[in-house]
Structure 1
Amino acid sequence: MPKSNAKFEVPKELSDKVLQLVEAAKNTGKIRKGINESTKAVEKGESKLLVIASDVQPEEIVMHLGPLCDEKKIPYVYVPSKMEIGRAAGIDVPCAAVCVVEAGTGKELLKEVADSISKLTK
């Protein structure tokens, strides 16, 4: 198993909910896929939630995302693999980061996930 670069431990149940949220947002809302698009969405304050893969190598590629989200007061969470994010985002390749811009039908799930993340990071 590759080394994880996650700043905090995320329970499997929360990780699964996050991926469900990404799928719901992909189908009925709006998401940004990839590190560059996600970074831009966070910088502009458009992002509601940032999802980062914890198996990204080299980890320096995603190291700026956590502090940027903290600065912009945007919740972020780590999931175990790039493949899971890619699958949830509806693409056939691994994806290091994805952000939810509009949750669509996943609004309640977004609120629940954001609350869980705030409890984890305290």
Structure 2
Amino acid sequence: DISLVKSEPDDDRPNEHGGQENEMTYEEKLAFASPIAHPMASKKLCKKLIKLVKKSAKHKGYTFGGIKAVRTAIRKGQSGLLILAGDSSPIDNMSFLPGLCEEKDIPYVYIPSRKDLGAALNVRRGVVALLVKEHEDYKSLIDECSQQVRALDIMV
């Protein structure tokens, strides 16, 4: 007699708090971030940034994901808010982006996990760099996030 019922529970089922059982906390993700990932978003700001990315993902042409697309968009004069993943490896691949942003006066911030950034953008892979352009649907949210990012201390 072959039973089709699994005896073990699935690890990827949502827990009672709505998250995944094996999901890491903000502090655990922070441990994997590069030491040069500065300024790092706080836990509260990180949640706002993820919310912003989810809203912007609904509008085609308002997000640029990946190092090459972000670099091209910035050089062509696009503005917005740049969100970088702190756990990107090797970090040297995108270490030029903060300097480029400072030249063009674009606010930028690191979040601890590239997987979170990819999930918010509705892609299966992690995203290491994402430029979010302003749109009227989320203008107040991007302004609030940009203001908080500019308030973070940036060492030049």
Q: 1:104 to 1:94 in 2, by over 3 A?
A: farther
* Aligned residue runs from structure 1 range 19-98, under 5 A: 19-28=50-59, 30-98=62-130
Question: Relative contact order: is structure 1 or structure 2 higher (C-alpha 8 Å, sep ≥ 6)?
Answer: 1
Alignment deviations for residues 63-120 of structure 1 (CA, whole Å, 9 cap, x no partner): 0010100000001111111101101111111111111124352110000001101110
Whole-angstrom CA distance in 2 between matches of 1:104 and 1:65: 26
- Structure 1 unaligned segments of length 5 or more: list them: none
Aligned identity (percent) is 32
The structure that is strand-richer by fraction is 1
Q: Normalised by the size of structure 1, how large is the TM-score?
A: 0.92
Q: Which runs of 5+ in 2 are unaligned?
A: 1-30
Higher CA-based Rg: 2
How many angstroms apart in 2 are the aligned matches of 1:40 and 1:94?
Answer: 20
CA RMSD after TM alignment: 1.5
Alignment size in residue pairs? 122
Give the Å deviation of 1:9: 3.1
After the TM superposition, list the runs of 4 or more consecutive aligned residues in structure 1 that deviate by more than 6 angstroms.
none
AA partner of residue 64 (structure 2):
R
**TM-score, scaled to structure 2:** 0.73
